[in-house]
Chain A
């Protein structure tokens, strides 16, 4: 019996690796992708980047403008996340098994969350562009909708796993629905929820850059502008600032996480 299990595991991993190789070879053949050329051009890209893609003294003059754009982007990401948090919390309370008022609403809430989460951000941006054209409201809404779906899903799972027992205890004392939400569900879930919110802000700052490319706003637009006008030194400065920002934000969120968990 025991050895059977080990034999089965071994067989499973063999099958897995075989499938992986098949998939890789298959897709290379079908797309006619030249693997060796792929690697050599990657190398070329690095060499080109090393000789052109770095900030020089002149590019520093754009710093104030880029920093302002960066600041705008950060604020937009945070605003999109916080507003999404409010709506996601409400929908998660409807959707969670622990706090739902009835089964049908819960199902609908979960459905909405899955739908929103599974539409890629870029798709949201494109659809929204039809309505709002290239503007910062497009970028904001795209981030908001993506965050809303993701956070709802995350909050539903958090509430489901965290607060079952104390909810039962409080209903047994005669506490009302809202008492239970505010005295048991939210206090129990809050640290985990804050952790998700920080993660979302983090992700949104990265994504805002990408969305900015599409919608012509924020830091993404700056990059696009300098890159397309062959001002690679300036474009590289933008990239470096983005990377620094993302690292800083991540450090801040990790610190906050350590304190609250």
Chain B
């Protein structure tokens, strides 16, 4: 499997490519500095690093929720940095996004939240009125079933548990029919059981549907378990980019700097079990 992906990466056009991407907020230090990497279709990539390293910024530069200061990003053969508003909307329909705090409309039902994933394809009027085709509704139901939410379809989202909310988040991304899903700390607010369910779903999304997944993670152990490839970020720079097996203790220390001691203890415990 991994070998195949390696071959893919060399021969076919990458799905996503970042070249010299740099982001300055107001401060003097860049949040991202000269980021370069490319992603092949179907890869499952984890981005790890201490908080404030620039993981969220990196993810949001890809779908231009945050504008990079300089550099080039191309997705599926399109140079996204140059896109006008209309085309940017069209591009975003092919990139799903999942958030730490789920970012659902809590007052609306599960099915309504899931169908929000279709808004990018809609005219102003149809979207404003919330008019969805029978096929879209059917597809929403299929995805909801797939994520084990069939008993929650008409429940308001503020009545769901965190794990259920995140599954609604995944369903909303899936109904977009995306080629890529970006996940910003999808399990950081969840208990270990729900976290495992969410990570398993993300792995299925990647393995069975062939959707590329990039996920920001706090937990190195989770990144090691699920990823084809890990990117380590520290102070806005990529300090590691390779397979999980190449992520040695020294590399982890380099990624996490002073935080790494606690981390190694935590990792040691997990491996011991």
Contact = CB atoms under 8 A, between A and B. Distances in A.
A55 interface: no
B133 to A, nearest CB: 16
Contacts, number: 89
Interface stretch (B13-21, B88-96, B226-234): B88-96
B105 A174 contact: no
Interface in A175-230: 175-176, 178-179, 181-184, 187-188, 190-191
Contact of B63 (A166, A172, A183): A172
Interface of chain A, helix or strand or loop or mixed? helix
B216 interface: no
B107 A168 contact: no
A226 to B, nearest CB: 48
A184 B127 contact: no
Contact of B105 (A166, A172, A173, A178): A166
B103 A169 contact: yes
Nearest to B157: A166
A51 B88 CA distance: 77
B122 interface: yes
A187 B63 contact: no
Contact of A165 (B65, B92, B103, B108): B103
Contact of A183 (B92, B99, B119): B119
Contact of B127 (A163, A169, A171, A183): A183
A112 interface: no
16 contacts: A165-B103, A166-B106, A169-B97, A169-B103, A169-B172, A172-B95, A173-B97, A174-B89, A174-B91, A174-B120, A176-B89, A181-B128, A182-B127, A183-B127, A188-B106, A190-B107
Given A173-B97, A187-B105, A187-B108, 13 more contacts: A165-B101, A165-B103, A166-B106, A169-B103, A170-B116, A172-B65, A173-B120, A174-B89, A174-B92, A175-B116, A176-B89, A182-B129, A183-B105
